[in-house]
Amino acid sequence: MRLHFPAILAALVIAGPASAETLREQSEATVDVRGFSALRVDNSRGRVEIRPGAEGKIRVTALKIVRSGRESTRRDLANATTVETDVEGGYYVVRVRYPQNRSIHINLWEGFSTSSLPRTEVRLEIEVPPSLPVRLVSASGDLLTEGLRGRQFVKTVSGDIRIESAAGAVEASTASGDIEATDVRGSVQTVSGDISVERAGALRAKSASGDIGIRAASDSLVLETVSGDIEVGHASRGVFAKSASGGVRIDRAAQDIEVGTVSGGVHAGLSAPLSGAKLHSTSGSIVAELDQAVGCTLEMRTTSGSIDLEIPARTRTVSRRFVTATVGDGATPVEVQSVSGDITITERSR
């Protein structure tokens, strides 16, 4: 099945010379959810937005945008750009096909710029039953989902991803774009972009050269970055955080905590109930802030830095590079180790 794009004169913008070079065509289609159990969208360059709609129906709104200085070129590109729908392997598929080959004639005497080259994109807004699983794939387009309860697979190469209020598990990845999420659980990954999450459940986040920021998490976190920083506001069910050349800061975390950096510093707030903590850094300093309710056995070790114990504790082994001490009931093991950085254990400020 193919969505056709009749020329809609009301959608053709003619507000000036720049707008006169843009052709816009919009079309809509609504289908019943029959014979398939998930949605798949393949759109290599346009923005895709998925939101909850009526139960039992999928509504697709497609906006085709063609930019060219020549009216004939605009029309040819518009006719060659199609939005097709089909049912494949249990998926309802929405696929955008763009022209694969085009000839561009350039007057060398007049010169040209890349902004004058013909361009086309299709922006999709799709409403789905809230529990329907979705799979979105794009090369350079931005992807947005909001208010979905089904499982989500969201992938783009150079576009950004934004996910809001996802009740189901999410798998999101981008190569050079950023990821922003609110109320999400699952896994998110980017190569050179940043990851920012407002609220998370159980979440695995990985970035090669970007920063990772998690404001609050109601379940466990696994966070890894190569050259970026990691910041966590509140992680009540434990956190594993690893950075090669960036720093790690955790305002407050409980349960199991493991933090490791190579050349960055570590700042961690440890809260009850605490099951265990390991804080390691090769060339950065480590600051651990303990809530008053945390009872632990501390083991602190550094090769060339200093060790400062700024809370009431019963010391057991004391040397310049190695200190063990008991805080409160000593029930929880806490290991703090830095090769060339300082170690400071202090009370968490309220």
Tell me the pLDDT tens digit for each residue of 41-88.
999 999 999 999 999 999 999 999 999 888 999 999 999 999 999 999
pLDDT of residue 69: 84
Which tokens sit at 92? 């309802």
Helices and strands in the chain, H and E counts = 1, 29
314: exposed, middle or buried (Cβ count in 10 Å: 0-12, 13-18, 19+): exposed
At residue 336, does pLDDT exceed 80? yes
Q: Name beta bridge partners: 146.
A: 164
Task: Assess contact for 154 and 172: CB atoms under 8 A.
Answer: yes
Residue 110 has pLDDT above 80, yes or no: no
| Burial of 300: CB neighbours in 10 Å, binned 0-12, 13-18, 19+ | buried
Provide the pLDDT for residue 103.
52
Q: Are 133 and 154 in contact (CB under 8 A)?
A: no
Q: Looking at per-residue confidence, does 235 or 20 come out higher?
A: 235
| Residue 301, CB-side half-sphere exposure with 13 Å CA sphere | 9
Alpha helices in the chain (DSSP H): 71-80
Residue 115 clears pLDDT 50, i.e. is over it:
no
The pLDDT score that the predictor gives to residue 10 is 30
Query: What local confidence, expressed as pLDDT, does residue 100 receive?
Result: 82
Count of positions (residues) in the chain: 350
- Over the range 139-148, which residues count as b (16 or more CB within 10 Å of their CB) and which as e? eebbbbbeeb
**What residue type is 49 in one-letter code?**
E
What one-character DSSP code corresponds to residue 77?
Answer: H
Task: Grade residue 122 by pLDDT with cuts at 50, 70 and 90.
Answer: very high
Tell me the pLDDT tens digit for each residue of 286-304: 999 999 999 999 999 999 9
Banded pLDDT at 22 (limits 50, 70, 90) = very high
